[in-house]
Structures are given as structure tokens and as C-alpha cells.
Amino acid sequence: MSDCNSCPSKGKCGSSSESCGVKNNPNNKVKKIIGVMSGKGGVGKSTISAMLAKTLRKKGYKVGLMDADITGPSAVRLMGLQGEHAYGDGDGNIIPAENKDGIKVISLNLMMEDENQPVIWRGAMLSSCVTQFWSETLWGELDYLVIDMPPGTGDVTLTVMQSIPLSGVIMVTLPQDMVGMIVTKSLNMARMMKIPVYGLVQNMSYVKCPHCGEKINIFGDSTANMALEQGVPLLGELPTNADLAALSTGSGEISDPEISDVFETLVKTIG
Ligand code: ADP
């Protein structure tokens, strides 16, 4: 949960760390809010957010997915919601779209006429979009809200951390020193904001040979060291895998049980 002590507006905004001046929609009851984060773009944060939401939903939980990666939104495709829209109910609420599994989704792409149009906004606009997603979306009752966080440690990430009472974050990384260095910045940001870090998921960790099953570590392996150095658990390793890539078409199932096991571990970890 965000803490006023680390906030640059401490003492000036007149609110508590519960909401940081951004009101929760009084119609919502959200039990746990899980941020999926990475300092770097393109590492699989959205894919892992979508898979986590799907895994939770399969277990019967009520699940929402907030796409806070405003300029690089992928939740609509990952949830099979192309052509669908979120809309206002005329009462100040945004009604999220719901996918075929019953996962509620909010993303700027659900409000755009054309998904190919870029969002060319300054930081303040991007941040206010995220706070509206939080304060205006009518989630109703949710067991879990998964937030696909923006990449990096900039304005919008800060807004999510300060405005939304995150239960904790899962950090996504790749087994490469350069990515590790950038992800460590995000880890440190979460610590500075006093947000619990559940642990690391190493994506694109290996490729499994379809003939003999041998695991080939294309990038090498640096995340285990990073987890050790940073004192955070390594929660799982995901392969570079065609089923995971195909999720971006909004369909498909994961056939490799080792992948499903990683998400089972994530569900157990977030509790
Ligand atoms: P991010 O949200 O970090 O920008 P994405 O989840 O959008 O990353 O993933 C970037 C690209 O890599 C997407 O095209 C996605 O389908 C693909 N991808 C992510 N993880 C995997 C994986 N484990 N195996 C194969 N493709 C993946």
C-alpha cells in the first residue's frame, strides 16, 4: 500500500495513504490488487498479467484487469475483446468490458474508435487516465484486480503506486544483466513506495526443444543471482513458447504443464 511518508505531496493533499486523494468508486469492493510490473517494456508484463487473470478466473474468483500501460495497451487483444467498448453509464461510472470467461477489463483501447491511433499525451493526462480507471470504473465486487503496470519508473507508475492501494507487485524480468539492472530500478521504486514485492518471474527463460524436451537458455541465466542479491524470491521461469505468444490473439490454451505450474505458484503466493 502506498505510504504518505514517501510521497512528495505529504501533508499538502489532505488525504490518507488509503486513497492518496483519489477516491475509490463507492460501488466497488476489491479484495486484492496485484500490480504486474517491470522496468522494461516488451518483457512479457501484459502476457503474464493476462495469464494471471485467466488462472484466477479459472479457479472461480471474480477478476478484473486494468490496463495501466496506457500508451502500449494490450489487454483488449489478450482478453479477446477486439471491437468491444467500455462506456459511461451517465452517472459518472465507466462500465468495463467483460470477456467470454467473465473477466472485467478496462483499457484505453476500449474507448478508442481505432486501436491503431496513438495516444500522444503528456504525463499528466496519462496519469489522470489511470486515476479515472481506478475511481470511475464500476468493478463491483472483485476478489482480484490485476493491474498491467506501465513500463519504467515514471509519472504513470508513480500515480498507480500513490493512488491505488496495491496489495503487492509481481516483477517480470528476463535472464539478461541489462534487463536485470533496469528491473532492479523498479524493485527499488516499489521498496521506496513501501509496496510489497511478491517476487520475480523470469520470462523467456529458455526454449524447450519440441523433440527431446531439452531446455536451451538462450540468454544465459542471471535472474537467480539478481533474486539472491535483492533478497526477493524467484517465483518461476517461463519459456519462450508459442502458446504464450498466441495469447495475443485472444484465444488459445497453454498446453505445457510447466507454464501452468508457474501461474499456480503465483496464485498461491498472492494468497
Ligand atoms: P510487455 O507488457 O512487457 O510490453 P508483452 O506481454 O506485451 O510485454 O510481450 C511482448 C511480446 O512478447 C508480445 O508479442 C508477446 O506475445 C510476446 N511474449 C511475451 N512473453 C512470451 C513468451 N514467454 N513466449 C513467447 N512470446 C512471448
pLDDT by residue (tens digit) across 193-211?
A: 999 999 999 999 999 998 9
Query: How far is the C-alpha of 241 from the C-alpha of 255, rounded, in Å?
Result: 10
pLDDT in tens, 79-98: 999 999 999 999 999 999 99
From the CB of 190, is ligand 1 less than 6 Å away?
no
From the CB of 42, is ligand 1 less than 6 Å away?
yes
3, burial (CB in 10 Å: exposed 0-12, middle 13-18, buried 19+): middle
* CA-closest residue to ligand 1 atom 12: 44
From the CB of 204, is ligand 1 less than 6 Å away?
yes
Strands 29-37 and 234-237: unpaired
Judge whether 252 and 77 are in contact, CB under 8 Å.
Answer: no
* CA-closest residue to ligand 1 atom 16: 245
The confidence score (pLDDT) of residue 268 equals 98
Of ligand 1's atoms, which has the minimum distance to the CA of residue 49? 6
From the CB of 38, is ligand 1 less than 6 Å away?
yes
Mean pLDDT across 120-137: 92
Query: How far is the C-alpha of 102 from the C-alpha of 81, rounded, in Å?
Result: 11
The confidence score (pLDDT) of residue 5 equals 56
* CA-closest residue to ligand 1 atom 20: 44
Architecture of 28-270 per CATH? Answer: 3-Layer(aba) Sandwich (3.40)
What are the residues facing 148 on neighbouring strands? Answer: 36, 67
Distance 25 CA to ligand 1 centre (A): 32
Judge whether 32 and 20 are in contact, CB under 8 Å.
Answer: no
Judge whether 104 and 142 are in contact, CB under 8 Å.
Answer: yes
pLDDT in tens, 140-169: 999 999 999 999 899 999 999 999 999 999
Query: How far is the C-alpha of 250 from the C-alpha of 70, rounded, in Å?
Result: 19
pLDDT in tens, 57-74: 999 999 999 999 999 899
pTM: 0.92
In this structure, what C-alpha cell is assigned to residue 73?
A: 495497451
Nearest CA-CA partner of 173 in 218, 204, 206? 204
205-241 CB burial, b ≥16 within 10 A, e <16: bbebeeeeeeeeeebeebbeebbeebebebbbbbbbb
In this predicted structure, the answer to whether residue 75 has a pLDDT above a threshold of 60 is yes
pLDDT in tens, 215-238: 999 887 777 778 888 899 999 999
